[in-house]
Every structure is written in C-alpha cells, then in structure tokens.
Amino acid sequence: MRVYLDNAATTPLDPEVMKEMCKVMENTYGNPSSIHSHGREARTLIERSRKTVANLLGTSPSEIFFTSSGTEADNTAIRCGIIDHGIKHAISSRIEHHAVIHTLEALEKAGVIKLSFVNLDKKGNIDYEHLETLLKENERSFVSIMHANNEIGTLSDIERIGDLCEVYNAIYHCDTVQTMGHYKHDLSKLKAHFVVCSAHKLHGPKGVGFLHINHRIKIKPFIYGGAQERNMRGGTENIYGIVGLAKSLEMAYAEMDEHKQHIQGLKTYMINQLKESIPGVEFNGEIDADKSLYTVLNVSFPEMEMADMLLFNLDIAGISASGGSACSSGSDIGSHVLTAIGASASRPSVRFSFSKNTTKDEIDYTVSKIRELCMVNA
Ligand code: PLP
C-alpha cells in the first residue's frame, strides 16, 4: 500500500483542475499583453480567474495579484510593506515559515528594521498580551503572524490580531498559505492588509499563488518589468496556472464543509488510535478542532532506538510523511518550529497531513506500521 500523508507539503492536482489547465495549454497560447484576439483570449482567462478568486473571498478583483508562489507573495508583502511605508519595527513569531522569517531577518541584517518575536506557549499559541505590549512600545510596526502553522497546525486568532493592529495603526500581513481553500476567508471583514495563497496546497498547480493587497494600503512593485498585474508584477503570466488556481479555489469552496468534516474525522480517529496503541505518545501543537488546522497532525513519539530512522522506515512501508525533531543544543539541524515551542529533541516527531483523498484504510495501515516500528525499536 502507498499512502500519501504529506499534504501540507503539497497536494495532488485535482483531475478537474488538470482538465481546465489542459484546455488552456491546448488552446490558448496568446500573450495576455498582446492586443490582438489571441492575446485578448488569454487576458480574458486571467481576468475571469481573478474575478472568481475575488468573489469567493469577498473582495474586489483589483485587490488580487497573481504571483509565482506563496513565497513570492510573502516576500512582496513583507519587503514592500516595510520599505515603502518606512517601517522600522517588525513583529513576527519564531514559528513562521522560512518565506517569512528569512525575509524579515534579511531586512533586519540590512539595518532596515528591528525585529521582535512575540512570545509563544508550548503549543505554539501567540501571547496576545505580549503582542499588544510590543505594538504599544514601538512606533508603527509591521506584524507578520501566520494563520495556521504548517508543521504543528496551531491556529492564530486573526480577528484578534487584526483588531490589535488596527488600534496601534500597524500593518498586518498574515501568511494564510495553509488555510486558503480550507477555511472560508471573508476579506471584506478581515483586517489584514496582506494575505497570501499558494495553489498547490489546495489541489491546484505548483508555481502559482496570489497576494491580496487590501485597498487600505498601497505598495510599489516587488518585481519590475512589464505592465502585467496592473503594473504591480512584471513577467508574462502563468495563464494555465492562474486558471488552475481559480478552479482549485472554486472547488475547495464548493466542497469545503464536506471535506472539513471528512478530514477532521480522520484526524480525530488517528489521534485516538495512536493514544490507544502507542504508550507515551504526545502531540506537538494544538489538537482541539477549534484551535488546530484540521489537515495537520504532528505526533511526538516516545524516545526510541533508531529514532532518526522512523521517517525512513515509514517510507519503506510506503507511507510518505514529513518530520524533523527539535534541534538539540549546539545544533541548528532540525525543525525551527519544534525548537521554538520547546519540544524535546530526543523524541522523534512526524507530521502527518491529510487531504480530501485520505481514507480510513490508509490511517489504519499507517497506525499499524507505526505500532510495529515502535515495538521493534522500543
Ligand atoms: N507559507 C507557508 C505557511 C507554507 O506552508 C508554505 C509552503 O510550504 C509557504 C509559505 C510557501 O509557499 P510556496 O511553496 O508556494 O512557495
């Protein structure tokens, strides 16, 4: 049996999405910037996709900018939000994706900002009082705090962060890569200035995403070139990628409640099965349904011999998952997220992440293999 439980890394392309993309690849080769009919046909597809995305998210098409990835969208929001607005102080968390942390660190290294990290508890929850203190103590800040953590699944309270940022006139960027298409975002109400999407996390294609720039903020381009994306991002558009993104978001919204229920059910089932069969098993991050991303379960296994072989052995059994333990002292190899929440470096951790395609049989098979591996190595 082959089991794919690494959907937070990427999801398989949905066949319906692929069909839409293939139609574009076969029929639409005009450059969307050309004014002849071939170009106009391509332009129409892009603008139709933008409208689809905007309608689903309760925003205006003029606020959606297609990018090459979630990483590019994060970089654009952070670099341009900070530099164009003369921001001198940024607040983030130590469990952000590297697309965020490394961008902020580069700006700090270049002397553009002072970077503060908000305190976290052992499950990766934000200390909102500390966030408020940091906002109060510094002149206008740039806040970059993700919606759901990609390794441990802990969710942040985006309404609360939005309210705080409003009170202290801060710019709020929220990395929503892991929740876009999995939760309903109403961007007409959300107080974030920037949110992002990466299509390959919701059964869309790799290499395409978008940045939502709220009308309350203006930035200059991150990539200079042609007049694409209303002069905001030079580069001939990835037409079939953009069409695939819009189709995948449309499908995700149409089927969200059903998928959420299915996936949350499997996650709860796996938690219970693991608790029953692996003495001493724990979970990194929140696992309660209202505090945790339903697609992610990060399991902390008891110390065992050959701990570093766990993922490899799962792979041999046909199970694809991902992992990484907290860094042991003196080493920086491992997960910066698990290190930041103080997870034990001697307990092996594995992230299992699910999708609409995951089945109960796959969970049963995975738990049975884990049980075997834990018994052999105990
Ligand atoms: N932010 C988060 C939270 C992610 O999980 C990822 C991808 O793993 C990214 C950003 C980067 O997205 P992309 O792979 O499209 O560059």
> How do residues 298-328 score in pLDDT, each as one tens digit?
999 999 877 778 999 999 999 999 987 676 5
Most informative mutation of 6, 10, 11, 71 for ligand 1 (most atoms within 8 A of CB):
71
Please name which of 216, 228, 190, 194 lies closest in space to residue 68, comparing C-alpha atoms: 228
71 alpha carbon to ligand 1 midpoint, in Å? Answer: 6
The string of DSSP letters for 321-362 reads -EE-PBPPTT---SBHHHHHTT--TTS-EEEEE--TT--HHH
For the question of residue 80 being annotated catalytic, the response is no
- Nearest-angstrom CA–CA distance, 148 and 176: 7
Question: Is the C-beta atom of 70 inside 6 A of ligand 1?
Answer: yes
Nearest ligand 1 atom, CA 207: 15
Which of 72-75's residues contact partners 24+ apart within 8 Å by CB, and which partners? 72/209, 72/211, 72/222, 72/223, 73/194, 73/196, 73/197, 73/198, 73/209, 73/210, 73/211, 74/99, 74/100, 74/103, 74/173, 74/175, 74/177, 74/196, 75/99, 75/103, 75/222
Q: Looking at per-residue confidence, does 326 or 229 come out higher?
A: 229
Please name which of 279, 292, 309 lies closest in space to residue 353, comparing C-alpha atoms: 292
Question: Is the C-beta atom of 97 inside 6 A of ligand 1?
Answer: yes
pLDDT greater than 60 at residue 330: no
> How do residues 81-129 score in pLDDT, each as one tens digit?
999 999 999 999 999 999 999 999 999 999 999 999 999 999 999 999 9
14 alpha carbon to ligand 1 midpoint, in Å? Answer: 19
Question: Is the C-beta atom of 150 inside 6 A of ligand 1?
Answer: yes
Nearest ligand 1 atom, CA 200: 15
pLDDT greater than 60 at residue 348: yes
Question: Is the C-beta atom of 209 inside 6 A of ligand 1?
Answer: yes
Q: What is the residue with the minimal CA distance to atom 4 of ligand 1?
A: 177
Question: Is the C-beta atom of 71 inside 6 A of ligand 1?
Answer: yes
Contact (Cβ atoms closer than 8 angstroms) between residue 97 and residue 141? no
**pLDDT at position 175:** 98
Distances (CA, A) of 296 to 175, 273, 293, 313, 319: 16, 16, 6, 20, 15
Question: Is the C-beta atom of 156 inside 6 A of ligand 1?
Answer: no
8 alpha carbon to ligand 1 midpoint, in Å? Answer: 9
Specify the DSSP class assigned to residue 12: P
Three-class DSSP category at 23: helix
Three-class DSSP category at 214: coil
376 alpha carbon to ligand 1 midpoint, in Å? Answer: 35
**pTM exceeding the 0.95 threshold for the entire prediction:** yes
Nearest ligand 1 atom, CA 99: 10
Averaged pLDDT, 225-241: 98
> How do residues 120-134 score in pLDDT, each as one tens digit?
999 999 999 999 999
Q: Which of 252-261, 275-284, 303-312 has the lowest mean pLDDT?
A: 303-312
**pLDDT at position 323:** 84
Query: Which domains, and CATH codes, for the chain?
Result: 3-11+255-377 (3.90.1150.10), 15-254 (3.40.640.10)
- Nearest-angstrom CA–CA distance, 223 and 66: 12
Question: Is the C-beta atom of 204 inside 6 A of ligand 1?
Answer: no
Q: Name the active-site residue from 165, 174, 197, 327.
A: 327
Strands in the chain per DSSP E: 3-4, 64-67, 89-92, 114-117, 141-144, 171-174, 194-198, 209-213, 282-284, 296-300, 319-320, 322-323, 349-353
371 alpha carbon to ligand 1 midpoint, in Å? Answer: 31
196 alpha carbon to ligand 1 midpoint, in Å? Answer: 9
Nearest ligand 1 atom, CA 72: 16
Question: Is the C-beta atom of 178 inside 6 A of ligand 1?
Answer: yes
Question: Is the C-beta atom of 205 inside 6 A of ligand 1?
Answer: no
265 alpha carbon to ligand 1 midpoint, in Å? Answer: 25
**pLDDT at position 170:** 98
Question: Is the C-beta atom of 324 inside 6 A of ligand 1?
Answer: no
Nearest ligand 1 atom, CA 96: 3
pLDDT greater than 80 at residue 261: yes
